[in-house]
Amino acid sequence: MKDENCIFCKIANGEIPSATVYEDDRFRAILDMGPASKGHTLILPKEHFKDVCELDEEYASRVLGLGGRIGAAMKASLGCSGFNLVQNNGASAGQTVFHFHLHVIPRYDDGAPIVTWDPGSADIGELKETAERIHEAL
Ligand code: AMP
Ligand code: ZN
């Protein structure tokens, strides 16, 4: 299913032009127009899924491998030494376009920090209690 009001549906299906890195029957990978680093790529399914919770198994089983392939190609072609796979779900997580996408972000040796956080702390009792709550909801 496509969503006619969704810009990523239109880009993924070629109705809006993009800098396309890769295309197959299920996905189009494009360069992000606000790149975190040179080569920042977005992998877009051609079907509309709001986020990872909606993604069907066929897409889910292929997207990670494609991210790895594109990351390896970035290392070979752009001179980055690593890459981050980033995938945001929900506004609080930084999602701004509500069509599933996987970011592939090249990382260069002299590059700015991109995906970072300050580690917190928790005791084992709290960790176990939290783990149990998540487990019960699965
Ligand atoms: P997220 O914050 O995970 O939802 O990521 C959305 C990403 O899409 C951002 O990095 C934007 O720069 C990028 N973006 C939004 N619109 C476009 C567009 N028309 N073409 C390319 N990238 C886009
Ligand atoms: Zn869409």
**Structure confidence at residue 3 (pLDDT):** 87
* Residues recognised as catalytic: 101
What pLDDT band is residue 120 in, cutting at 50, 70 and 90? very high
Nearest atom in ligand 1 to 98's CA:
4
Instruction: Kindly state the percentage of the chain with pLDDT values over 90.
Output: 95
Mutate to test the pocket of ligand 1, among 11, 31, 33, 102 (most ligand atoms within 8 A of CB): 33
* Size of the chain in residues: 138
pTM > 0.85: yes or no:
yes
Q: Ligand 1: which atom is nearest the Cα of residue 34? A: 12
| Share in percent of the chain as helix, strand, coil (round to 5) | 35, 20, 50
Tell me how far apart the alpha carbons of residues 83 and 78 are, in angstroms, rounded to a whole number.
Answer: 11
Contact 27, 44 (CB under 8 A): yes
For the chain, what is the mean pLDDT? Answer: 97
| Residue 83 pLDDT greater than 90, yes or no | yes
Residue range 15-55, pLDDT digits in tens = 999 999 999 999 999 999 999 999 999 999 999 999 999 99
Alpha-carbon distance of 90 to 50, in angstroms, equals 9
Instruction: Say what the pLDDT of residue 1 is.
Output: 80
